[in-house]
Amino acid sequence: MARECTKLAAKITELLDEDQGQPVKELARKLGVNRTFLSGYLKALEDQGYVKSKRIGPAKVYFNNEQM
């Protein structure tokens, strides 16, 4: 399970390196995972300092921590 989480975090980081400021809906589509699951996962990554989020209108978009 830990290895799968590490792979998912790496994929998220890669996607955010390619295109900063992506909403959960778009990330979930690209990763093929449930939006609700990904939202919680991104919150955990944000709490640990790996990503940052910003509200833009109704959407919450994510950035790599060092890119913001």
Give the pLDDT of residue 1: 43
pLDDT at 66 over 90: no
Lowest mean pLDDT among 2-6, 35-39, 45-49, 52-56: 2-6
CA dihedral in degrees (38, 62, 20, 6; nearest 10)? -50
pLDDT, one tens digit per residue, over 19-51 is: 999 999 999 999 999 999 999 999 999 999 999
Overall number of domains in the chain: 1
Q: Could you tell me where the DSSP H helices lie in 1-68?
A: 2-18, 24-31, 35-47
- Give residue 13's domain range: 2-67
Check which CATH number belongs to the domain holding 19 and give it: 1.10.10.10
Asked if 54 and 38 touch (Cβ cutoff 8 Å), the reply is no
**Predicted TM-score of the model (pTM):** 0.84
Which are the contacts of 29, defined by CB distance < 8 A and separation ≥ 6? none
